[in-house]
A and B are shown apart, each in its own frame.
Chain A
Amino acid sequence: NAGVTQTPKFQVLKTGQSMTLQCAQDMNHEYMSWYRQDPGMGLRLIHYSVGAGITDQGEVPNGYNVSRSTTEDFPLRLLSAAPSQTSVYFCASTRLAGTGELFFGEGSRLTVL
């Protein structure tokens, strides 16, 4: 059972570089989301999607783009990386957006120099 798969697990970028964090789920979940986790800040919602073609902003969307062309995939793009985007990024999905359990990927650790 793959569940939610995130790649890469680790990445080091230089300021100004762009990259995409990949997230894929094989549970046919309509709802997918991206969080970042920083020490003392908990998990903060970046973007989320309630289905293919539909995305919306969370608490901290600036500097990130998302798209949802298929039910399975929800990539997160950093357009021009900044040191403030150094964080651990988690992708999560659920079948029922209102009451369902969120299933998380193992996280992607990003360092921006």
Chain B
Amino acid sequence: RKEVEQDPGPFNVPEGATVAFNCTYSNSASQSFFWYRQDCRKEPKLLMSVYSSGNEDGRFTAQLNRASQYISLLIRDSKLSDSATYLCVVNAYSGTYKYIFGTGTRLKVLA
């Protein structure tokens, strides 16, 4: 079983729709959590960190559920420019820190 799992999609949604992605992680010692965005043939870039209390950044909301070991990303009012792959990242400490990526969920927002 992979340490970090995501539904690969693709999610095809119309402009203006709300879409949610989930990500599960297996290491209960995981300490920090992130969502990254990757455009086609580009490097990943940080979208947002995920805090225990949940956090929001404009149209994006991230939630963490430590008991069930999953994190989520909600995108409201989708824009064409949101089309990308969204990567869930988990940082676990086992002597040193390792950032482990999920396989990514591909989103395509349709006009």
Show the binding face of A for B, using Cβ within 8 Å. Answer: 31, 33, 35, 40-45, 48, 50, 56, 58-59, 90, 92, 97-99, 101-102, 104-107
User: Judging by beta carbons under 8 Å apart, are A50 and B97 in contact?
Assistant: yes
A25: min CB distance to chain B, Å: 13
Let me know if B55 is at the binding interface, CB within 8 A.
Answer: no
Q: How many residues of B contact A (CB 8 A)?
A: 25
Contacts of B36 in A (CB 8 A): 102
- Docked-complex contact A31 and B97, CB < 8 angstroms: yes
The reply to whether A45 and B8 form a contact with Cβ atoms under 8 Å apart is no
Contact A102 B46 (CB under 8 A): yes
Task: State whether B101 touches A43 (Cβ < 8 A).
Answer: yes
Q: Which B residues between 17 and 50 are near A, CB-CB below 8 angstroms?
A: 31-32, 34, 36, 42-46, 49
Closest Cβ of chain A: how far from B46's Cβ, in Å?
A: 5
B43 touching A104, Cβ below 8 Å: yes
Indicate if the CB atoms of B43 and A45 lie closer than 8 Å.
no
Tell me, in angstroms, the Cα distance from A40 to B6 when the chains sit together: 11
Select which of A35, A56, A59, A102 is within 8 A of B96 by beta carbon.
A56
Return A107 CB to nearest CB of chain B, in Å.
Answer: 6
Q: Among the listed A35, A41, A90, A104, which residue makes an inter-chain contact with B103, where contact means beta carbons less than 8 Å apart?
A: A41
Q: Are B87 and A42 in contact (CB under 8 A)?
A: yes
* A58 touching B98 in the complex, CB below 8 Å, given contacts A40-B8, A98-B32: yes
Residues of B within 8 A of A58 (CB): 98
Complex: A74 Cα to B96 Cα, angstroms? 17
Chain B minimum-CB-distance residue to A57: B98
